[in-house]
Amino acid sequence: MTAMIRALTWEVFFKNRVGLIGILLIVPMFWLFSKSFIDEVIGDYVPVGKISFAIMLISVLFLFAIFSYVDVNSKEKINEGFPPHLLRLPLPTWVLSVVPILLGTLAVSSFILLWINFFSDIKLSWLMQLAIISVAGSFISWSQATNWGLNTPTIQKAILLISIISALIFSVIAVFDINQQSTLFSKTYGSFGLIFLLMSGYYFCFLTLVRTRQNESFQIRLSFPTFEISRLFSSNSRPPQFSNGLWAQYWYEWKMQAFAIPLIIGLIAIVELGAAILGSERKIISIGFVTMFTLFLMSAHFMACNKLGGEDFSILPHCATRPLSDFDLAMSKLHPLAIAIFVSYLLFVSTPFLSLYIIGLPDTTTPPYGNEVVEKFGVSGMMALFSLVLIIFLAIFWAVSANGCAILLRDSKLIFFANIAAFIGLGVGLLSLMVYFKGQPGNFETALKASSIYQVLADSPHLIPLTFTGTIISFITFLMRPFQRVAKFEQLKIYAVISSVGLLISLGLLWSVELPIKVSAFASYSIVNLFLLCFLPFLIAPINVSKNRHR
Amino acid sequence: MQATEESIIKIQGLTREFGKQKALDNVDLQVKKGQVFGIVGENGAGKTTLIKHLLGLYKAEQGKVSVFGFDPVKNPAEVLGKIGYLSEQPDLPGWMTISQYMNYMSAFYPSWDKNLANNLIHVTSIDPDKKIKSLSKGQQARIGLCAAQAHRPELLLLDEPSSGLDPLVRKEILSAAIRTVIDDGRSVVFSSHYLDEVERICDHLIMFRGGRVVLSASMSEVLNNHQMITISSAELNRVGQDKIERLPGLIKLTEKRKEWYINCFSNYEELLPAIEKLSLDILEKRLMTLDEIFLSYCHEQKTLDEE
């Protein structure tokens, strides 16, 4: 057995020898670099500690990737889980699972400890060193469990992963006293948390391998609770039942792409909460901004594309040959997107509030920064405006994502690259504005008031929004004929009703607040435009799906 | 456009170009109810393009396509609901288990026969809880075939389904599947490179070359009316090649080891007067095999095009 373990160890190292040599070379290279360049040339401008930390972090992530011991199908780029040839080795399953985890933990923690020893002034107690090993071990074991058994995306697995990452973050914060508020109790709790994560990670790795080895048939030997938990780590789940083909296609699209949107937003929300625990209000705001931008950028692409991150927007033959009309096929993209946007939006909206609650507000009886608004419009006015803002943001999320998705469904390279360019342009523009007005919020107001657009808006608040309305209505009129070729207008009734209800509620909320007449007019016209844009994807998507499906 | 009562597929003057390349050139076709229609041709001859038109995945640039009396582009739901389709690359969602996939597929077809589906899966001996991506290409093709038949489609459309199957499965399972469909009076359109399979299963054959239909006839007509006549080189010189090339239904005239082979698509009784008129001294006369017929047409076109 020792010989076999040695052989297994050799394989783990030999398979990744290039990467490992690269990592080992980073240490002397950085040492030389820091001595010859950072200390001598840029040491006064750039803190060495930050560069050192960044390089260590990248190297550690690289090491994690090396030790996430999986076979990848190079042709189809599919994660095939634990290398199948190793399953045939005459080794007990616990050894098969423990060797890569142990090697990974040793490699990662040794690297971190060496780095800290060489490149920082921090002196770690033996308890802290043990904590680092536990963190590395927990992370390695859970990433192994993910790679070996959790590669099937389901919402339960997503929730499990989010919970694990949250628990890991909270434990690390408690053990290392990152927020400088840890008590002995929280440190103990954190240590136990880490040990629990390490053990449970290993246990699930073991479960996954047993299941894989015994060809998914071992569950009868397990007790009921273990069976239920282990279900998460198997490819099996109960076959779903659908009332008709459209629902089956919704399920397919949800499982294929849409679920990933709230999942990623959920992960960002965890980081946001982490930032909140660290007590950084500015970080929360910037993470919120990143969340919103990410959601904008990815959701349209996710839903329209065949593979996450790919450039293929053609409708797969498997889907194109389903007996569904072009309209239904288009809706099977838009409906799951709507659910994904809604769930993501709830996460997006609730996380800053939760974060602000965690870092503590001076007055928690009113929503954050609401005092000024309450003074001006009263509590009911504030609530109306707050509700209006929530609806408007949801509508913006939907309008941007759904229109992006509907346009990308055309499967045109030109549209794809134009879409990417538009988002990059938007991102760069917003960042530039942020940098330009950073620390001087008054500048923004002054610059805005001096601009010619502001003058036009102040003189005739309806002019610009009405021009937009005219453009959108002209576009809708232009789309009617191609739409009629693929579907009937009656099919749009429900979406027209939903958009109208949203519009009426928004206008009702707006008009319930006593705003200056010009502001109210401008806002009303803008809201009409926004809801027209919300309705637009239901016209564009079927046309583009039809073009894409019947070439 | 309503097709005739018997015709489930009606194609008129279908032409399709990809750039300068003509994938289909003025194709006319009619498939009747209960027919097993075999499509053969070289790679790139236009078989898959034709099938994609039937599925509505391609829009007719010129001409008309009607399946069950509907335009498959304008009425995809109506047409696809009656079709069971399996392609060379089954393109099944790998992340689903087989049972998930069958449940997913069943939702689209009100006529889905759950017992038939279960039986078909049982016959494959593949664990239904296995993920599709973990199956071999042949196993995926078999699952695809089960899903294509389980709703008892009025038209089974198979685009080179045999490519991933081993000879045993090809011979037994595929043939059985097709026979079941035919026995129920339904139709099959079947493209394949395996001519023995086409000969065994199909009752009508259509042969494509360069997007054009070079042969369309019932299988018995194809097999009984393709003649190969062997004459000596001296005989050819005596009669003259130009006269032989005017024989009715001549496909190809080739020389091999001082012997000339005349391939004709013609009833021998129709051919006989012309042969007697030339007083041809025939060394051998026999019916051609489907392989020989296929090669004759491909080669014949090439030779004529070059000339």
| pLDDT score for A178 | 59
Q: Do B51 and B188 belong together in one domain? A: yes
- Phi/psi of residue B216, each to 5°? -145, 110
Do the chains contact at A321 and B57, CB–CB below 8 Å? Answer: yes
Instruction: Please classify residue A255 by burial: count the beta carbons closer than 10 Å to its beta carbon, then call 0-12 exposed, 13-18 middle and 19+ buried.
Output: buried
**Do A249 and A226 lie in a common domain?**
no
Q: Quick check: pTM over 0.80?
A: no
Note the pLDDT tens digit of each residue in A459-495. Answer: 777 788 888 899 999 999 999 999 998 899 899 999 9
Residue of A nearest to B129 (CA): A236
pLDDT, average across residues A12-41: 72
Encoding tokens for residue B295? Answer: 């090669």
Same domain, B80 and B101: yes
Question: Does one domain contain both A287 and A156?
Answer: no
Least confident of A290-294, B83-87, B151-155: A290-294
Residue B255 — left, alpha, or beta (φ > 0 → left; ψ -120 to 50 → alpha)?
A: beta
**Any domain includes A56:** yes
Beta bridge partners of B256: B259
Per the CB < 8 A criterion, the answer to whether B97 and B132 are in contact is yes
CA–CA gap between residue B127 and residue B115 (Å, rounded):
16
* B189: β partners: B37, B157
Range name among A191-195, A210-214, A283-287, B38-42 with the lowest pLDDT average = A283-287
Cβ atoms of A301 and A383 closer than 8 Å? no
Q: In this complex, do A239 and B102 lie within 8 Å of one another by their Cβ atoms?
A: yes
- Read off the pLDDT of residues A143-178 as tens digits, 9 standing for 90 and up: 777 777 655 555 556 667 677 777 777 777 777 765
Do B155 and B104 have their domain in common? Answer: yes
Q: What percent of chain A has pLDDT over 90?
A: 16
Residues B143 and B214 in one domain: yes
**What's the pLDDT at A167?**
77
Domain boundary among A198, A231, A264: A231
Q: Output the pLDDT for position B124.
A: 84
| Cβ-Cβ contacts under 8 Å for B10 (sequence gap 6 or more) | B1, B3, B4, B29, B30, B31, B64, B65, B66
**For A551, nearest residue in chain B (alpha carbons):** B58
Domains in chain A, number: 2
pLDDT of amino acid B286: 85
State which residue of chain B sits closest to A329, comparing Cα positions. B77
What pLDDT digit, counting tens, does each position of A183-229 carry? 666 667 777 788 888 888 888 788 777 777 765 433 333 343 444 44
For the cut 60, the answer to whether the pLDDT of residue B163 exceeds it is yes
A residues 197..226 contacting B (CB < 8 A): 215-216
Check A256 against B102: CB less than 8 A apart: no
Asked whether residue A237 is assigned to any structural domain, the reply reads no
Nearest to A96 by CA among A235, A214, A227: A214
pLDDT of residue A366: 46
For the purposes of burial, counting CB atoms within 10 Å of the CB of A110, is it exposed (0-12), middle (13-18) or buried (19 or more)? middle
Do residues B236 and B185 share a domain?
no
Res. A122: pLDDT tops 50? yes
Span B200-226, average pLDDT: 89
Co-location of A370 and A430 in the same domain: yes
Task: With respect to residue A239, please indicate whether it lies within any of the assigned structural domains.
Answer: no
Q: CA B294 to CA B304: how far, in whole Å?
A: 16
Tell me what pLDDT residue A75 has: 46
Residues A406 and A498 in one domain: yes
The answer to whether position A238 is within a domain reads no
Instruction: Please check whether residue B132 lies inside any domain of the structure.
Output: yes
Residue B86 in tokens: 């399996």
- Does the pLDDT of residue A404 top 80, yes or no? yes
Does residue A412 sit within a domain?
yes
Same domain, A401 and A488: yes
B49 and B165 co-located in one domain:
yes
Judge whether B110 lies within some domain.
yes
Of B162, B196, B219, the position where a domain reaches its end is B219
Number of domains, chain B: 2
Residues A264, A213, single domain; the answer is: no
Q: Are residues B291 and B247 in the same domain?
A: yes
Q: Which residue has the higher pLDDT, A337 or A81?
A: A337
Tell me if A96 is assigned to some domain: yes
Question: Is there a domain that residue B148 lies in?
Answer: yes
Report the CATH number at residue B253: 3.30.70.980
Pairwise CB contact (< 8 Å): B57 & A245: no
- Residue A241 region, left (φ>0) first, then alpha (ψ -120 to 50), else beta? beta
Token digits for B166?
């081993």
Domain-embedded: residue A240:
no
Residue A12 or A181, more confident: A12
pLDDT of A227 reads: 42
The answer as to whether B1 is a domain residue is no
Which of A129-138, A155-164, A295-304 is least confident? A155-164
- Domain match, B138 and B244 both: no
Q: Which one of A231, A260, A276 terminates a domain? A: A231
Residue B168: inside a domain: yes
- In the predicted structure, residue A510 carries a pLDDT above the cut 60: yes
Task: Give yes or no for a contact between B198 and B290, defined as CB atoms under 8 angstroms apart.
Answer: yes
Give the end of a domain, one of A231, A253, A269. A231
Q: What is the pLDDT of residues A523-543, one digit of tens each?
A: 898 999 999 999 999 999 999
Instruction: For residue range B95-143, list pLDDT tens digits in order.
Output: 888 988 998 999 999 889 989 898 888 888 888 888 888 888 888 888 9
Q: Does residue A240 contact residue B100 with C-beta atoms inside 8 Å?
A: yes
Length of chain B (residues)? 307
Domain span at A343: 245-549
* A125 shares contact with chain B (CB less than 8 Å): no
Q: In this predicted structure, what is the pLDDT of residue A37? A: 60
Last residue of a domain, one of B184, B219, B254: B219
> Distance (Å, rounded) from C-alpha B307 to C-alpha B293?
21
Confidence bin at A336 (pLDDT 50/70/90): very high
Same structural domain for residues A492 and A372? yes
pLDDT given at position B289: 87
CATH of residue B152's domain is 3.40.50.300
Of A50-59, A240-249, A299-308, B182-191, give the lowest mean pLDDT range: A50-59
**Does A98 map to a domain?**
yes
Query: At residue A275, what are phi and psi to the nearest 5 degrees?
Result: -65, -35
pLDDT at A128: 78
Residues B194 and B57 in one domain: yes
Which of chain A's residues have a Cβ under 8 Å away from the Cβ of B81?
Answer: 323
Indicate if B106 and B212 belong to the same structural domain: yes
Residue B2 within any structural domain of the chain? no
Q: Which two structure tokens, joined as six digits, stand for B46?
A: 């236009």
Residues A17 and A152 both lie in one domain: yes
Cβ–Cβ < 8 Å for B193, B35: no
Binding-site residues on chain B for chain A (CB distance < 8 A)? 55-59, 73-81, 83, 85, 87, 91-95, 97, 99-100, 102-109, 127, 129-131, 133
Average pLDDT, chain A: 76
Q: What is the domain range of residue B147?
A: 7-219
pLDDT at A504 (0 to 100)? 94
Q: Are residues A528 and A385 in the same domain?
A: yes
Task: Round to whole Å and give the CA distance between A481 and A479.
Answer: 6
Find chain B residues with C-beta within 8 A of A485's C-beta.
Answer: 74
Residues A382 and A426 in one domain: yes
Chain B residues whose beta carbon lies within 8 Å of the beta carbon of residue A316: 91
Of B198, B219, B240, the position where a domain reaches its end is B219
pLDDT digits (tens, 9 = 90+) for B230-260: 888 888 888 788 888 888 888 888 888 788 8
* Statement to judge: residues A222 and A352 lie in one domain: no
pLDDT at A165: 75
Q: Considering only A23-27, A157-161, A247-251, which range has the smallest mean pLDDT?
A: A157-161
Q: Is B161 part of any domain?
A: yes
CB A401 within 8 A of CB A337: yes
Same domain, B47 and B178: yes
DSSP 3-state assignment of A323? coil
Same domain flag for A216 and A253: no
Where does A409-516 have alpha helices with state H? Answer: 413-436, 441-450, 452-459, 463-486, 493-511
Give how far the C-alpha of residue B291 lies from the chain's centroid of Cα atoms, to the nearest Å.
14
Q: What is the mean pLDDT of chain B?
A: 84
- DSSP letter for A310, please: -
Q: Do B91 and A318 count as a contact with CB atoms less than 8 A apart?
A: yes
pLDDT value at residue A329: 93
Same domain, B213 and B275: no
What are the φ/ψ torsions at residue A79 (nearest 5 degrees)?
Answer: -75, 115
DSSP of A391-413, one letter per residue?
HHHHHHHHHHHHHHHHHHTT--H
Measured CA to CA, the distance from residue A352 to residue A357 in angstroms comes to 8
* Beta-carbon separation of B108 and A152 below 8 A: no
Spell out the residues 6+ positions from residue A343 whose beta carbon is closer than 8 angstroms to its own: A261, A262
